[in-house]
Amino acid sequence: MKDKRFTLVSDTPCPITVLNDIPLVRLQFGERTPLTSVKKRVRVAKGALLAEHGSPNVGDMHASIDGVIKDLTASYVEIQYEGLPLDVAGTAAAAAKDTELARPVEPVSFDGLDEIELGKTLKRLGIAIRPFTRPCELFIINCLNPEPGMLYTQELLAVHMPVIEAGFSLVRRLNNAPEFVLALPEGGSASLEGAGVRHVSPQYPNSLARPLIKIVTGAERTKHVTLVRLHNIFQLGLVARSGLPLTEQVATVFGKNYLAPLGTPVQTFLDIQGFKLESGDSVILGGAMRGVAISGLRRGLRKVDDAIQFIPKGSRPELEDNPCINCGACVLVCPMRLRPNMLSRYAEFGQYESCRKEQLATCIECGMCGWICPACRPMQQYFRMAKLQLGMPTFQHRLRGQ
């Protein structure tokens, strides 16, 4: 039977609002290196290159609005909006010659580029190209909303299909997979020329990579399968259509969909929706099942953040190191057929090697066991702590650097 708490589709449309007039953005460098010309009080044009990543697979970083660099630290740059000066004809900001970073950015053409040059060009435009270039036998585009409460994929499929098609045309140039499949929620009718369709029950955690690949292929092993989220194809499509760097992000924020400049602070979304946080409320970056609480409201939207959730105080039971009552509910619900009860006990008492033997690496941090646990044990926190102790990548680590 379907559980409404874990549904991945919405009964009502939720249009994507485009945000343009953002007074300030905060862009996280991640593992990128800022250019030496990036300094406080320097004027920047939207699309100006600000930081580069050493890996050919990870996208570089660009200014997402016109403005002036207001603050700069080792981890972020803040840009305050300021329109670029007009030229004498009163047209675009062509007169902005005070720094290299202030020059308006010209679109690039992808025509005639071979696979290698195309990949390099997209990386310079901010795209993390690794998922698109990985050789595979089957390339799946995941069109399910990643987690309950996220609403944007239905809108992308309904309204922004030309952008998705533009992204997919570049995917076809980057990847020679013999088979492409759109994994759609049951009832979905979207299509892409050159891709088959597979309908999937829109119930979490079917949207996560391992369960979805199992549903589509019937096999546990994922070696020859690449799975990319629709949101990544959309980002690629934005760049494909404009020829300009990636400066926007689609995300579900506090129950509404936005296409917002990268780096838009959480506080700006709160202001737009008129939310006032009370003591004890939480804001989660990412989905309610796998996201992490943020400590500051100036935190800006990153390329990997497709949701920000508001959790009012008291709306969820408090997690505590309560003893396991051996109910077995977590074992029944785990999609990876692990024993979360044993894993959590080992992690709680620092028996990390036992966690390894219990296949902790297989845990996809879906959060189902923690959600269901009647003892309110902090299951994901245990697993993330144990993974860190064992040098295993966590879900949040995988997001880093993209």
Residues that bind ligand SF4 (CB under 6 A): 324-330, 333-336, 338, 340-341, 343-344, 363-369, 372-375, 377, 379-380, 383
Q: Measured from the CB atom, is 260 or 379 closer to ligand SF4?
A: 379
Nearest-Å Rg of the Cα atoms of the chain is 22
Spatial contact of 25 and 260, defined as CB atoms under 8 Å apart: no
Quote the least distance from Cβ 368 to ligand SF4, whole Å. 4
Query: Which residues fall within 8 angstroms of residue 159, CB to CB, at 6 or more apart?
Result: 15, 16
Q: How far is Cα 24 from Cα 201, in angstroms, rounded to an integer? A: 40
Quick one: 121 exposed, middle or buried, by C-beta within 10 A (0-12, 13-18, 19+)?
middle
Quote the least distance from Cβ 299 to ligand SF4, whole Å. 25
Residue 88: Cβ within 10 Å count: 7
Pairing of strands 179-185, 196-200: parallel
Q: Measured from the CB atom, is 113 or 376 closer to ligand SF4?
A: 376
Q: Measured from the CB atom, is 195 or 284 closer to ligand SF4?
A: 284
Tokens of 167: 């992204």
Quote the least distance from Cβ 341 to ligand SF4, whole Å. 4
Quote the least distance from Cβ 117 to ligand SF4, whole Å. 40
Quote the least distance from Cβ 289 to ligand SF4, whole Å. 9
Q: Measured from the CB atom, is 8 or 262 closer to ligand SF4?
A: 8
Q: Measured from the CB atom, is 99 or 389 closer to ligand SF4?
A: 389
Three-state secondary structure along 216-277?
HHCCCCCCCEEEEEHHHHHHHHHHHHHCCCCCEEEEEECCEEEEEECCCEHHHHHHHHCCCC
Q: Measured from the CB atom, is 66 or 365 closer to ligand SF4?
A: 365
Quote the least distance from Cβ 373 to ligand SF4, whole Å. 3
Q: How far is Cα 164 from Cα 16, in angstroms, rounded to an integer? A: 15
Q: Measured from the CB atom, is 237 or 378 closer to ligand SF4?
A: 378
Q: How far is Cα 58 from Cα 398, in angstroms, rounded to an integer? A: 12
Q: How far is Cα 182 from Cα 139, in angstroms, rounded to an integer? A: 9
Among residues 69, 81, 77, 80, the alpha carbon closest in space to that of 30 is found at 77
Quote the least distance from Cβ 164 to ligand SF4, whole Å. 29
Q: Measured from the CB atom, is 36 or 326 closer to ligand SF4?
A: 326
Quote the least distance from Cβ 323 to ligand SF4, whole Å. 8
Alpha carbon distances (Å) from 166 to 44, 158, 260:
28, 15, 20
